Amino acid sequence: MASSTDSDISIEFPFFRVYKDGRVELFRPHWDKIPPSDDPITGVRSKDVTISSEPPVSARIFIPKLTSPTQKFPLLLYVHGGGFSMLSAFSPHYHHFCSTVSAQAGVIVVSVEYGLFPARPIPACYEDSWAALQWVASHVNGNGPDPWLNDHANFSKVFIGGDSAGGNISHTLAFRVGSIGLPGVKVDGVILFHPYFGGTEDDQMWLFMNPTNGGLKDPRLKPPAEDLGKLGCERVLIFVAEKDHLYTPGKDYYEELKKSGWGGKVEVVENHGEEHCFHLHDPKYEKAVELTNKFVSFIKQD
């Protein structure tokens, strides 16, 4: 018979609860995943690749329809959201979003499957995503492990993007590129959809998920001006939604980036009356279409 302490809750967060015996119970432990597929209407093809077996990191790659055997496309590294503990690059709404963007923007998309809490606590998500970006860069001389990237990726026009937790991770990737470089790769732009940064009730949850955290001033949680000034890209596009609890951190990031001394161009797009990541849940909704169109035009801009 289980002791009473086995079911005693120590602390409860929005995405999981922790019991006094140390067990973690996710509120959404399972989510749908779909296999890669070819879109007969747009001609976009997709496949899954292994980036690392230990630790386990993989990705789903999307490539637009080819009009010539030597055609080159920009490349987008996409980092999904889910509170560092949920969802997948293989979830239906991420698959469809990346496929749509690949078709409309004419871009190769590498959608990262990174480690999630509690199986792999933070900083696994950051390290896995950086490993994925380095894997992308390993193709710059045409002799990397994936033929699609060897033959068709334009490494002078690379983008990094993500939503929610993935927006936070995307920032850290751009900071690393600006700090230590990524030889042969030019990151043109970074796109943050409703990004998570410090300043909300979620902060204590992030700290719990990251046993090696640096407190509320951890630069991944609250990027300081010196980090913002080092972003390794030329343009940043930030989306915020009025009814999203991450609205203020997203706006604050925009304002702090403008004051940081960073030499690039930053733009913020506000969606009034909308909730967190609304565009992923109903992609045919008028404002979701507008958001996607803005994202696509940002990638296609010369």
Catalytic annotation, residues? 164, 244, 276
User: Which among 80, 70, 136 has a CA at the least distance from the CA of 108?
Assistant: 136
Pairing relation of β-strands 235-241 and 187-193? parallel
Residue 290's contacts (CB-CB under 8 Å, 6 or more residues apart) are none
For residue 283, what is the DSSP state?
A: T
In the numeric block, which tokens belong to residue 198? 């410090």
Say which amino acid occupies 18.
V
SS3 58: strand
Q: Are 84 and 13 in contact (CB under 8 A)?
A: no
Strand segments, DSSP code E, in 89-172 are 108-113, 153-163
